[in-house]
Copies of this chain bind each other. A is one copy, B any other.
Amino acid sequence: MSIPLKHFKKGSLKPHLPEDGVLRFYSMRFCPYSERAALVLAAKKIPHHKIYIDLSEKPDWYTDYSPLGKVPAIQLSAVADQPALVESLVIAEYLDEEYPEPSLYPAHALQKAQDKILIERLSPAVSAIYPVFFTADPPADALQNFETALDVFEQELKKRDTPYFGGRAVGMVDYMIWPWFERFPALKLLLTDKYELDNQRFGKLLQWRELMLQDEAVKQVALDSQVHAKFMQTRLEGKPNYDVAFEAL
């Protein structure tokens, strides 16, 4: 019994999911929040079934599995009533508590709080860059605001003086911010002036990016910039094609 590799959409037949107690992971292949959960699942080697949901036209039956109809969601099929958890950070923190190896948050409460604040601080970068990815006419200062927001992360890596935000090993901050850093390089394919982050200003961050690409969980989950650019193009044209993720397979 295998689940088809495609994004289920309105009108798709409801897949019959195996009642084997294995965690069910509902996501959209290009959704960066879904990717956060996928990275934690991969890093902790947690067995799971993957079910992809078309976000533009969600299948009606999806709320039978995940009552809020959101992605990402994980459904605990081994637990009574098979509850579904939503919100990428809530899922990541739940998995980190329930599957402690490797532990992704620092043990110390203060460092953990500082890591959570750092994760929140990616929002301004994301807000600044989204119109560049997904609208035909982004604000003129978008890239400038984006870079100002990223300075925080460059400075923080300098301050921590470790290869990863998590220290000598990849940690929660690394995985929670990675999905956007995976997507940023698609800019050089999308924009006519081949935009890239400045190697002087963002030296540490670019080194970190190279290291992250070697991480086993990232290798399993990440998509190539070209695939991201291809998806963004379909979305810009108003017809997001989620299944381009699977076309090269």
Asked if residues B90 and A116 are in contact (CB atoms below 8 Å), the reply is yes
Contact of A120 among B87, B112, B117 (CB under 8 A): B87
Contact of A113 among B85, B113, B116 (CB under 8 A): B85
* CB-contacts of A156-202 with B (<8 A): none
User: B residues within 8 A CB of A97?
Assistant: 109, 112
Contact of A79 among B79, B110, B117 (CB under 8 A): B110
Contact of A110 among B76, B112, B116, B117 (CB under 8 A): B76
User: B residues within 8 A CB of A117?
Assistant: 85-87, 90
**Docked complex Cα distance between A91 and B112 (Å):** 11
- Name the interface size band of chain A: 20 to 34
Nearest CB of B to A231, in Å: 27
Asked if residues B110 and A83 are in contact (CB atoms below 8 Å), the reply is yes
Q: A85-B113, A98-B109 are in contact. List 9 more A-B contacts (CB 8 A).
A: A76-B110, A85-B114, A85-B117, A86-B117, A87-B116, A87-B117, A90-B116, A91-B113, A93-B113
A94, CB-defined interface residue at 8 Å: yes
**Docked complex Cα distance between A87 and B76 (Å):** 29
Using known A-B contacts A85-B117, A87-B120, A117-B86, determine if residue A94 contacts B79 with beta carbons closer than 8 Å: no
Q: What are 26 A-B contacts with C-beta separation under 8 Å?
A: A76-B110, A79-B110, A83-B110, A83-B114, A85-B110, A85-B113, A85-B114, A85-B117, A86-B117, A87-B116, A87-B117, A87-B120, A90-B116, A90-B117, A90-B120, A91-B113, A93-B113, A93-B116, A94-B109, A94-B110, A94-B112, A94-B113, A97-B109, A97-B112, A98-B109, A98-B110
Nearest CB of B to A191, in Å: 31
**Docked complex Cα distance between A109 and B94 (Å):** 6
Closest B residue to A79 by beta carbon equals B110
User: B residues within 8 A CB of A98?
Assistant: 109-110
Nearest CB of B to A152, in Å: 10
